[in-house]
Each structure stands twice: as C-alpha cells, then as structure tokens.
Structure 1
Amino acid sequence: MKRFLGLVTLVVRDYDEAIDFFVGKLDFRLVEDTPVPEQSKRWVVVSPPGAGETMMLLARASAPEQSVHIGNQTGGRVAFFLYTDDFDRDYTTFRARGVKFIRPAASHAYGRVAVFLDLYGNAWDLLEPSGRDACSAHRHRYATPRGDAPETP
C-alpha cells in the first residue's frame, strides 16, 4: 500500500493574496480554485512545480481562533521545506521578486539552504540537498545544535 501526504493546510488571511504570493513569487501551480458557496469559502490548492503528489490547501481563516495562527502556525519554527534542484536559480529569483530571507544562503554537508518567510511570516527552508536522500539532509540539519530563532542577514 502506498501512502503519502496529499495536502497540507496553510491558514491564510485572504485567498487571492495567498495565490498571488505562491503562484506569482514562488512559481507554485494553481491546482484548483473552486467556490464552496454553502460555506462562503473556496477550495484553493497550490503545488510546487514538478511536485506531483505534494499540494497545499490555502484555507482562509474563518474564526478568530484561526486568525491568531496566521503566520505562526508552528510557533516560530520552520514550517515548510521547499526542496529545489537548482538553489541558485530559485534563491536569485525569489529575492528579485521580494521574498524576504531571514537566514542567508549557506552551504553545509547536507546541501545548500536559506530560510525565507511567506507573506504571513511563516518560515520556510529553501533547500537543495547534496546527494539523493533529502530526508537525511534534514535529519542531519536538525541534529546539529544551533537553535531555531531566525537570524537576520
């Protein structure tokens, strides 16, 4: 039996601004944008280019208890890990489009990495792993004591 995470939810303030960021700045693909009139919502799904099974549901906060978590869904830790096959291309493109990096590009034994913020303040790793096992890259990274507080460039 094959299992995988098909959708991960990101709580957002507004559907259209979230689509603009993920599609316009990060080159994600808009997979679906379907109104759900009975709930006054939309089913908005985006996916990184070439990701296949990996998708993100952009879910507009619909209650105050959801709104307080926008931009801080993981308590300040890196929330998402965007793997790339060309770090320099994506790092340069994202910076040119105004994506805010809070930890500059660095090379490590496990790969090249930088930390950026999405439009709400959630922290993301941009990572080009060295070698074929991307999960091993992150196990190595987080086994190294270094703290989780964002650093300013």
Structure 2
Amino acid sequence: MKAQLVSIMVNDQDRAERFYTDKLGFQVKHNIDVGGARWLTVVPPDEPDGVEILLEPAGYEFARTYQAELYKTNMPFTMLFSEDIHKEYAQLVERGVEFRGEPAETMGGISAVFDDTCGNLLMLMQVTEPA
C-alpha cells in the first residue's frame, strides 16, 4: 500500500494553482473540468510520477469551517518536506511567500510555517533526527 494522492482544501482553485506553481515551484499534472470545479493536481517537477497534491475546493460548509478553525488556531493543514530548509526558505521568501517566522528547531527537525493564500497554513519541515 502507498499514498499516491493527498488533498489540500483551497478556497480558490485559480489562486491555488498560481501559488503552488509560481511560488512553490510545483507543476500541474492534471487540470480537468469536473463541472464547476477542477480535478487540479500538482507534483514536484523532479518527481512527475510521485505523490500528487489535489488542490481541492472547500465546497462544503463543514470543510470551510474546518479549514478556518485550523487557520485561526495556527495549525498547519499539512507538511511539505525539504532537504535544505534554509535554502528553500530563502528562495520562497524571495518569491513572495509569507512565513509566520524563520525556520526554527522543533521536535525531529527544523520547521517554518507559511500561508498558502488559499485558506491554509502549511509547515515546511526538514527532518534532522531519524524517525
């Protein structure tokens, strides 16, 4: 068993597509109209057959409430991983990504939280201790 697709709820698919490609550097893998929304997935350019991120519209009230509550309590929706968080952080800041603070030591590694402009906080993480 393996994960091939993960979802991140977004409040605007157009803005999410721009942010995840232009700012984070992912590339679109699927962009299929499904009647009022899109099956919109992105992947890292160096792993086109790797795990896809579905930029899924938060189309239900309970989904929007869940997303808003996570954001309000400063809880990241999910984590993205980096092998060199300081380099990645500098590049993302240069591209206009807004972080809540600089990378800092945390349990198991170094992390920094940023806003994806689509209703979520995401954590960038570099693992420094073995799992």
Q: Percent identity?
A: 27
Report the Cα offset of residue 104 of structure 1: 1.7
Q: Which runs of 5+ in 2 are unaligned?
A: none
Q: Distance in 1 between matches of 2:27 and 2:77?
A: 20
- Give the structure 2 partner of residue 42 of structure 1: 38
Q: Distance in 1 between matches of 2:10 and 2:28?
A: 15
Partner letter of residue 104 of structure 1?
Answer: E
- Give the structure 2 partner of residue 59 of structure 1: 56
CA RMSD of aligned residues (A): 2.5
Q: Is the 8 A contact 2:85 2:110 kept in 1?
A: yes
Q: How many residues align?
A: 129
Choose 1 or 2 for highest CA Rg: 1
Q: What do residues 8-42 of structure 1 show as CA deviations (whole Å, max 9, x unaligned)?
A: 222222221100011111111211101123xx221
Shift in alpha-carbon separation, 1:85–1:5, aligned structure 2, 3 A: same
If asked which structure has higher relative contact order (CA below 8 Å, sep 6+), I would say 2
Q: Distance in 2 between matches of 1:41 and 1:102?
A: 30
Q: Distance in 2 between matches of 1:23 and 1:111?
A: 26
Shift in alpha-carbon separation, 1:108–1:13, aligned structure 2, 3 A: closer
What secondary structure sits across from 1:100 in the alignment? coil
What secondary structure sits across from 1:4 in the alignment? coil
What secondary structure sits across from 2:111 in the alignment? strand
Q: How does 1:80-119 map to 2 (within 5 A)?
A: 80-107=78-105, 110-119=108-117
Q: Under a length normalisation based on structure 2, what TM-score does the superposition of the two structures give?
A: 0.79
Q: Is the 8 A contact 1:72 1:122 kept in 2?
A: no
Report the Cα offset of residue 109 of structure 1: 7.4
- Give the structure 1 partner of residue 128 of structure 2: 130
Q: Distance in 2 between matches of 1:125 and 1:117?
A: 9
Q: Distance in 2 between matches of 1:11 and 1:24?
A: 18
Q: Distance in 2 between matches of 1:112 and 1:68?
A: 29
Q: What do residues 53-77 of structure 1 show as CA deviations (whole Å, max 9, x unaligned)?
A: 3221112233434333445458642
What secondary structure sits across from 1:33 in the alignment? strand
Answer with 42-51 or 24-33: which moved more. 42-51
Q: Is the 8 A contact 2:70 2:76 kept in 1?
A: no
